[in-house]
């Protein structure tokens, strides 16, 4: 395999993020599982250790809290001195609240934007010095935005669009895509890879385990392929 990488996956105590941490750790990388809640994160790390005997590191990280972000950056800087891959996986959907475009819930809009856009932006900005410290022409660092089919304006404007009733989530993810495109443009001269990736509809906690989606274990290879490209 390629040289072991230092990888941080935000919001990874459940769902696709959790499965990605598991897979990357199995490949021999130094992986940080990040969770907003301390207990939830430690439980997830312990579960991976018990079930698969894999050593995963933990860092508490709330992407909506600047102090929490700064503490996470300081911890990884002290322990590793660099960050090879940042996976911006943390997200909320607020699907328990009606998000019809005709009668939008502004609290839902603000909550999803706070995590899915503003949280992503400030987390990325804070970790950028560690990412730059890692990146070389031979081993470029990477930033990955976990996106969604519903973030694609092209898809949603076509006859293949779906789930228009979750406008807060869709809007926040579309905005995150726009930020990711701009970030990729700004960092291309430095050789840092910036991409967005969607696993397609997957049954996870974020959508209330809605039936009909793919299994998280089946989707995680999509992420690992991009993260380690």
pLDDT at 163: 67
pLDDT in tens, 107-132: 999 999 999 999 999 999 999 999 99
- What is the reported pLDDT for 190? 96
173: annotated active-site residue: yes
| From 12, 35, 134, 148, active-site residue | 148
List the domain boundaries for the chain. Answer: 6-93+120-150+177-227
How far apart CA 74 and CA 72 sit, in angstroms, is 5
pLDDT of residue 214: 54
Choice among 173, 178, 193, 224 that is catalytic: 173
Active site residue 2: no
Which residues of the chain fall below pLDDT 50?
203-213, 218
Give the CATH number of domain 6-93+120-150+177-227: 3.40.50.720
Q: What's the pLDDT score for residue 178?
A: 96
The pLDDT score that the predictor gives to residue 210 is 47
Evaluate if pTM is beyond 0.75: yes
């Amino acid at each position: 395999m390629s040289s072991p990488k230092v990888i941080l996956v935000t919001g990874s105590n459940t769902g696709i993020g959790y499965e990605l941490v598991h897979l990357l750790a199995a490949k021999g990388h130094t992986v940080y599982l990040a969770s907003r809640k301390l207990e939830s994160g430690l439980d997830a790390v312990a579960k991976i250790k018990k079930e698969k005997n894999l050593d995963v590191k933990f860092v508490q990280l709330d992407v909506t809290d600047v102090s929490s972000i700064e503490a996470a950056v300081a911890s990884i800087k002290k322990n590793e001195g660099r960050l090879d891959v940042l996976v911006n996986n943390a997200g909320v959907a607020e699907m328990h609240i009606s998000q019809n475009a005709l009668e939008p819930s502004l609290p839902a809009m603000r909550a999803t934007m706070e995590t899915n856009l503003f949280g992503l932006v400030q987390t990325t900005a804070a970790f950028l010095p560690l990412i730059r410290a890692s990146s070389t022409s031979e081993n470029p660092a990477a930033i990955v935005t976990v996106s969604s089919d519903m973030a694609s304006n092209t898809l949603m404007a076509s006859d293949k669009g779906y789930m228009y009733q979750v406008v807060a989530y869709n809007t926040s993810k579309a905005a995150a895509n726009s930020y990711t495109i701009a970030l990729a443009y700004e960092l291309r001269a430095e050789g840092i890879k910036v991409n967005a990736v969607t696993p397609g509809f997957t049954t996870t906690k974020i959508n209330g385990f809605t039936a009909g989606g793919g299994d998280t274990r089946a989707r995680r290879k999509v992420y690992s392929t991009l993260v380690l490209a």
